Amino acid sequence: MSTKRIQLKGITWNHSRGFTSMVATAQRFSELNPNVDITWEKRSLQAFADEPINELAKRYDLLIIDHPWAGFAGKNNVILPLDEYLPKAFMKDLEENSVGRSHESYSSNGHQWALAVDAATPVASSRPDILEENGLELPKTYDDLLALAKKGLVIMPGIPQDTLMNFYMMCCNLGEEVCTSKEHVVSEEIGIKALKMLRELAVEMDPAIFDWNPIKVYEAMTQTDKYAYCPWAYGYTNYSRNGYARKLLHFHDMVEINGVGAISTLGGTGLAVSAQTKEIDTVMKYVEYVGSEECQKTLFFDNGGQPGHRKAWLDEHTNSLTANFFKNTLPGLDRSFLRPRYNGHMYFQDRAGAPIREYMMNGGDEKALLSQLNELYIKSLDI
């Protein structure tokens, strides 16, 4: 064992799911490797979505990233291709035990740029106690959902990022994936229908949602007794665990739209390594430790993490502590939509949500909105 002290720095996001899970793995890894110190820092969820990883890679050895950065990474070599450093059998295990398309979401240009250590997609959640008090059942279809929303008991995240992801979902359920043509985001007919359906729901909800991300939605559902159901928001197991929130949420698969379960937009986070790290061997050993099945379903999960390894989703231990969060929502993860990851897509993603949010709040001309989105999209293709 080398006596040289190795100092590594990582950046993640500011929630128990993203932070305490990584701190716990770093602490245990340091105990197993006493010459290694790993310090994790955190930033807001919005900064996590927004700040370019090329800037972060200058300051940190380890990065928790959002998968749409994979295309950028593949083109700009700011993070290391993990397939060139990690054992083939280990990488094969992760590929075979992906939750939905989580593993694939971090691949680009023939390389794997991050490990899917955290898996998520928008799923449904409820306060079973409030539904029961009101003699209500979980909605099964979009019409059921609309009826429940009219009772004032439904909320969903309404910030630009989430409204855009929900627009993608509606388009997928209406039969068309977004950003597959060079001319438009989606056909006019599907786009208009998707926008109208989102607005129809939003008008029945508390206007406060337009400042809420999924975390704020879950805090509102657990800290107050106003809201019984959220049809789709990126899932957080934390809110279904004893001791975490004032009232616990149960998580579910989503309602059917157009005859099939909602096809929400895959999220989750990946563990990546800066191309500028000086300690490649140690960093890779740590990355392999965090991504392993054993760590994912025990230490990582036990400290607030939401694993990316499929065996952790099927595990009795993880499900028993989360009111079956994993088993109940896995069908939604498995059919989720893998959003575009071409190099310029972040330009589009950062700008397209705000006009959709504005429309959902105040209504407007759907055709004009779609042409605004198309303009942004065509520009993003040239980046």
pLDDT digits (tens, 9 = 90+) for 279-298: 999 999 999 999 999 999 99
Structure tokens given for 362:
């105040």
Structure tokens given for 235:
């899932």
How far, in Å, CA of 2 to CA of 302, rounded? Answer: 30
CB atoms within 10 A of CB 8: 23
Length of the chain: 383
CB atoms within 10 A of CB 251: 23
Beta strand 6-13 pairing with 62-65? parallel
How far, in Å, CA of 139 to CA of 1, rounded? Answer: 58
pLDDT at 3: 74
- Contact predicate 232/266, CB 8 Å: no
Cα 138 to the chain's mean position, in Å? 23
Quick one: 382 exposed, middle or buried, by C-beta within 10 A (0-12, 13-18, 19+)? exposed
How far, in Å, CA of 99 to CA of 91, rounded? Answer: 14
pLDDT at 125: 98
- DSSP letter, residue 124: E
pLDDT at 71: 76
- Contact predicate 141/297, CB 8 Å: no
Beta bridge partners of 98: 309
Q: Which helix (H) or strand (E) holds 269?
A: strand 269-273
pLDDT lower than 50: segments of the chain: 1
Strands (E), 225-322: 229-234, 250-252, 256-257, 260-261, 269-273
Cα 140 to the chain's mean position, in Å? 23
Structure tokens given for 229:
């159901």
Structure tokens given for 240:
């279904």
pLDDT at 368: 98
Q: Distance of CA 256 to CAs 120, 149, 380, 382, Å?
A: 19, 15, 32, 36
Strands (E), 86-172: 107-108, 111-112, 115-118, 122-126
pLDDT at 51: 75
Going by C-alpha positions, the residue among 10, 76, 15, 57 that lies closest to residue 267 is 15
Which residue, chain included where needed, has tokens 């605004």?
372
- Contact predicate 262/232, CB 8 Å: yes
How far, in Å, CA of 253 to CA of 265, rounded? Answer: 14
